[in-house]
Amino acid sequence: MVDVKVPSVGESISEVTIASWLKKDGDIVKLDEAICSIESDKATLEISAPKAGKLKILVKEGETVAIGTKVAEVDETASAGASAPAAAAPAPAQEAPKAAAAPASTGGDKNYPSPAASKILAEKGVDASSVQGSGKDGRITKADAMGAQAAPAGATASDSSLKSLAHQTMASSFSREIRREKMTGLRKTIASRLVAAKNTTAMLTTFNEVDMSAVMELRKKYKDSFKDKHGVGLGFMSFFTKAACAALKQYPAVNGMIDGNEIVFHNYADVGVAVSTPRGLVVPVIRNAESMGMAAIESKIIELATRARDGKITIEEMQNGTFTITNGGIFGSMLSTPILNAPQSAILGLHNIVERPVAVNGQVVIRPIMYLALSYDHRIIDGRESVSFLKAVKEMIEDPARLLLDI
């Protein structure tokens, strides 16, 4: 037997919660195959099988254990056929069936989506049971979820059954039942950090609006050639990251933080990008974003966001950022007041792009407008600096040539 123990996941973390078992007790696992998802107060990580063999689970889902605790064992002597008895030969049938039977599930992960796949399926309104997984033992991967489509109305049910389903759904929507669910370690940490940020900082938010016409036109013109050359799409986040880095050079207090009786200024920009995951909001950090090109920023954002949603982001990748950008626009937010990501002193909030009537040279025209919000710690950042910072970001987005000319 080979022990499976909880690994160290950070200097300040002494215990974790068994979030879920990705394999069942008695399953045959491969070397380095993910078998368990653990959750600390800062991140969700996976434990891999140290050897190939038969899995014996010792700790149930939801239990909290100390670092180094043995949570399972792997029997190296077990063979691949040990997990299930051989099926008996079927009796000869007198009449062959008209259609082939559906293949049986080959493992415990059938229709079990990864965290990233689960989020995509939820957004699309697709039931996981209707998706054929292509991963190990039929597990639904992110690619499977992206290609899945919700069944059209009437495709699997008659009009009468649809009406019955609608009636049941309406009735269940108004049920007076309640459901209690234990807060995860990550959710508890998010809650305490947000309350601490509100209680220990003099937080204020300033707003502005930005005409996205120039960036959208530039993106439309070069997105194909950009992707052909760099292998990554040209999104809006790289424009805002570059604009924010340039503005941080002009207004260093926005990139600073308070440490006791001192103000710490950073000559670099480690920009955190808020990512929504199935288990809560995390903020992976792009190191030295000020020295990176657009393609490098886009690639890094995709890499970090994917790993965060898959629960594979590390503690180190979420620590020591100097400034944060959060994009509520992807969920349809028109305007918000983002909360500081302490100990940072400022956070830039992006929102959805909406065609609005605006006055240009005395004429009313329709332009794609985004509202920007900068929440900041008034103890270190004055109103003049915060407003000027946001205005600088606005000007660079409305005239992207400024990003190239550094003006």
Task: In whole angstroms, give the CA distance from residue 38 to residue 45.
Answer: 5
Pair 332, 65: CB distance under 8 Å:
no
Q: Is 327 exposed, middle or buried (0-12, 13-18, 19+ CB in 10 A)?
A: buried
Choose, from 75, 159, 382, 406, the residue flagged as catalytic: 382
Nearest to 325 by CA among 377, 291, 289, 296: 289
Which residues neighbour 255 within 8 Å (Cβ) at sequence distance 6 or greater?
248, 265, 266, 269, 322, 323, 345, 346
Is 75 annotated as catalytic?
no
Secondary element (H or E) of residue 238: helix 236-250
Helix orientation angle between 236-250 and 213-230, rounded to the nearest 10 degrees: 110
User: DSSP string of 38-85?
Assistant: EE-SS-EEEEE-SSSEEEEE-S-TT-EEETT-EEEEEETT--GGGGSP
264: β partners? 257
Partner residues linked to 183 by β-bridges: none
Whether 263 contacts 198, CB under 8 Å: no
- Among 3, 127, 224, 378, the active-site one is 378
Sort strands 64-66 and 70-75 into parallel, antiparallel or unpaired.
unpaired
Question: Residues of 109-141 as b/e, b for ≥16 C-beta within 10 angstroms?
Answer: bbebbbbbbbbbbeeeebebeebebebbbbbbb
d(CA 266, CA 262): 13
Helix (H) or strand (E) holding 259: strand 257-259
Question: Distance (Å, rounded) from C-alpha 285 to C-alpha 318?
Answer: 6
382 flagged as catalytic? yes
| Alpha carbon distance 41, 11 (integer Å) | 12
How far apart (Å, rounded) are the C-alpha atoms in residues 370 and 352?
A: 6
The amino acid present at 35, given as its one-letter code, is I
Residues annotated as part of the active site: 378, 382
